[in-house]
Amino acid sequence: MTILFAAGDWRWPTWEAPLRAALREAGLDDSALTLTASDPGAVEVMIYAPGGDTPDDFTPYTRCKAVLSLWAGVERIVTNPTLTQPLCRMVDPGLTQGMVEYVVGHTLRAHLGMDQLSRTRWQPVMPPLAGERPVAMLGLGALGAACGQSLACLGFPVLGWSRGPRDVSMIECHHGREGLRTVLEQAQIVVTLLPSTPETENTLDAETLGWLPRGAAIINPGRGTLIDDDALLAALDSGQVAQATLDVFRTEPLPQGHPYWAHPRVTVTPHIAAETRPATAARVIAENIRRLRAGEPLLHRVDRIAGY
């Protein structure tokens, strides 16, 4: 039986050694791992990332028992009608740590007013302390909860929002439309770590951006679809939103000439908030293959109806 690495040939040199090591560590035979499968019917597990030459028709993989995504966000595969196997998304300690660093870094940048510091004049500005700067964390999953808790450890009051009720220590949790309003009405910094689903599209639009206190900052490492771009640009122009740090976009790479590039209050980062790290993520993949073989429940299974 074959474990097919269908995550792009260019990733193979980085992933092969950590995957083989993790498979062996999990007591599995790493000779099953391959970059090519002449017989798709022999593939037992597919390690998957979207794009390039990776499959978009899963029909030939008749004996494949699971598709294991290297990506946390699965919007590009979750609605694929040919995918009938269980799909697992990536929850990787290395990726989570990267996201925590990105979110904490950009939150502190907004909080400390670093973009407003004069480079030519001695102009002391005293920011409030973190305790006076509520942060909204939209999404309380693997990433949102970790980022929210790290911010709470620094003293920020963190208000979280999720689809269902959640209980996350150090975070005041809310859900539902009224919950979103409660969270946004208090937030001076908003972090969006929601998956891209039909329900989350334009979570931040003209109405919800209007619920924020004037001058709030937005940090979006989630997905581009979470924000209505025209509404955000209007809010930036009016001063309702003071600054936006955007890592993800509806079209990537962000096209040249897009208004975000030139906007003085927007920072564009090129979808680099957090990368899946082979050293840690390979162990997550190997553990799921071990579970599959042992007939145990898979970790991080995607709910195909909810879309994440």
Task: Give 64's contacts (C-beta < 8 A, 6+ positions apart).
Answer: 43, 44, 45, 46, 58, 85
Options 16-24, 66-74, 161-169, 281-289: segment touching ligand OXD (CB under 6 A): 66-74
x/- string (CB under 6 A) for ligand NDP, residues 80-119?
-----------x---x------------------------
C-alpha to C-alpha distance for 247 and 136, rounded to whole angstroms: 17
Alpha helices (runs of H) in the chain, residue ranges in sequence order: 12-25, 93-111, 142-153, 176-186, 206-211, 229-238, 259-262, 278-294
Q: Does residue 142 interact with ligand NDP by CB under 6 A?
A: yes
Alpha helices (runs of H) in 154-272, residue ranges in sequence order: 176-186, 206-211, 229-238, 259-262
Q: Does residue 276 interact with ligand OXD by CB under 6 A?
A: yes
Task: Give 201's contacts (C-beta < 8 A, 6+ positions apart).
Answer: 225, 226
Q: Which is nearer to ligand OXD, 41 or 253 (CB)?
A: 253
**Contacts of ligand NDP in 168-197 (CB under 6 A):** 193-197
8 A C-beta contact, residue 193 and residue 220: no
Rg (alpha carbons) of the chain, rounded to whole number: 21
Partner that binds at residue 163, options ligand NDP, ligand OXD, none, CB closer than 5 to 8 Å by kind: ligand NDP
Select which of 175, 271, 291, 300 is catalytic.
Answer: 271
Options 25-33, 49-57, 61-69, 163-171: segment touching ligand NDP (CB under 6 A): 163-171
238 — phi, psi (to 5°)? -85, -10
C-alpha to C-alpha distance for 180 and 161, rounded to whole angstroms: 6
Report DSSP state, residue 237. Answer: H
Q: Does residue 15 interact with ligand NDP by CB under 6 A?
A: no
- Closest-by-Cβ residue to ligand NDP is 141
Residue 223 among the catalytic residues: yes
x/- string (CB under 6 A) for ligand NDP, residues 217-256?
----xxx-----------------------xx--------
Residue 271 among the catalytic residues: yes
| Active site positions, annotated | 223, 271
Residues forming contacts to ligand OXD in the complex (CB under 6 A) are 71-73, 90, 276
